[in-house]
Structure 1
Amino acid sequence: MSDVLSVAYPWIKALHIMSVIAWMAGLFYLPRLFVYHTEQSEPGDSRDSVFQVMEYKLLRYIMQPSMIATWGFGLLLVMTPGIVDWGSVWPYAKLAGVVVMTWFHMWLSARRKEFARGANTRTGRQHRIMNEVPTLAMVVIVLAVVVKF
């Protein structure tokens, strides 16, 4: 298995990067949709239903598959011999960043369900603040992988 992973390494890495880009796009965009949803609609009005469809489709058809692919390709990279130096700090820092991004994904999913029930209690400002979480996680992940501290 390790020989196959070593030969496929460039392809797995490329697919991992593409998955991360798609996932990050959703992690950045969905909270912005929540800001607009909060500030420009009321539960039950026509804009509310449009926002709900947009949020659902983004989460279900883009973010969910790309998160799963990111984790899958990432685990394959971890299993590739010679790629990860477990004596360094960077793989653990990256893992922490990915766990934060996964938690944020789940948090966004819960917020979408609140909007669907007409039960959103957060303000646009609160959604704007939460929109910084994936940025902070991304900084940790990129620095960990590139600088390898």
Structure 2
Amino acid sequence: MVEYFNWIKAWHVISMVCWYAGIFYLPRLFVYHAMSDDSISQERFAIMERKLYRGIMTPAMVATWTFGLWMVFLGWDIYKTQLWLHIKLTLVICLTLYHLSCGHYRKQLLTNPHYKTHTFWRWFNELPVFILIAVVILVIVKPF
């Protein structure tokens, strides 16, 4: 493969870690936002959520997809028959849908901070953990 493939992979992992940092933290902010009762706190959480979503999570998601698809493109002759990669891509699509739902929920919290309970957000926060575990196992172990 191309000599710079490992550089692309390194940037893919870096961007994925940044994306996941936001994926784990934003719903935690939703917990605190839903628990807040005063407008000053609600405004503060709204600003934090917006900056995290727009400034870190979304660029990191785009970078993760860009570097990941670049690697797939470079190694398509090898990857096209690898079932683990197809499953991984499906899970990354699920994570992208989760990301987009976070954006939707963020907007809902602006108009109604008690849109969902803090208990809901605590459970919602756990969903991406399962995707992370599955993706890491697929990439490292390649069970298929």
**Superposed displacement of residue 40, structure 1:** 2.2
What is the CA–CA distance in structure 1 between the aligned matches of 2:108 and 2:36, rounded to whole Å? Answer: 16
- Among 96, 113, 120, the alignment partner of 1:102 is 96
Instruction: Give the AA of the match of 1:103.
Output: L
Q: After the TM superposition, which residues 1-149 of structure 1 pair with which residues of structure 2 at under 5 Å, given as runs?
A: 6-42=2-38, 45-81=39-75, 84-118=78-112, 120-149=114-143
Large movers: runs of 4+ above 6 Å: none
Distance (Å, rounded) in 2 between the aligned partners of 1:37 and 1:138: 25
TM-score calculated relative to the size of structure 2: 0.93
> Amino acid of the residue matched to residue 81 of structure 2?
G
Alpha-carbon distance, 1:84 to partner:
4.5
For the 8 Å contact 1:31–1:128, the answer to whether it is kept is yes
Residue 119 of structure 1 deviates from its aligned partner by: 6.0
SS at match of 2:80: coil
Aligned partner letter, 1:14: A
| CA shift digits 1:6-33 (9 cap, x unpaired) | 1210110110000000000000000000
Distance (whole Å) between structure 2 residues aligned to residue 85 and residue 16 of structure 1: 16
Equivalent residue letter for 2:10 = A
Q: Distance in 2 between matches of 1:140 and 1:50?
A: 34
CA contact (8 A) 2:8 2:71 kept: yes
Shift in Å, 1:83: 7.9
In structure 2, give the amino acid aligned to 1:35: V
After alignment, is 110-119 or 91-100 more displaced? Answer: 110-119
TM-aligned CA distance change 1:69 to 1:62, over 3 Å: same
Alpha-carbon RMSD: 1.6
Gaps of 5+ in 2: none
Identity %: 37
Aligned residues between the structures: 143
Q: Offset at 1:93?
A: 1.4
Distance 1:64 1:104, change over 3 A: same
The 1-side partners of 2:27 and 2:106 are apart by 10
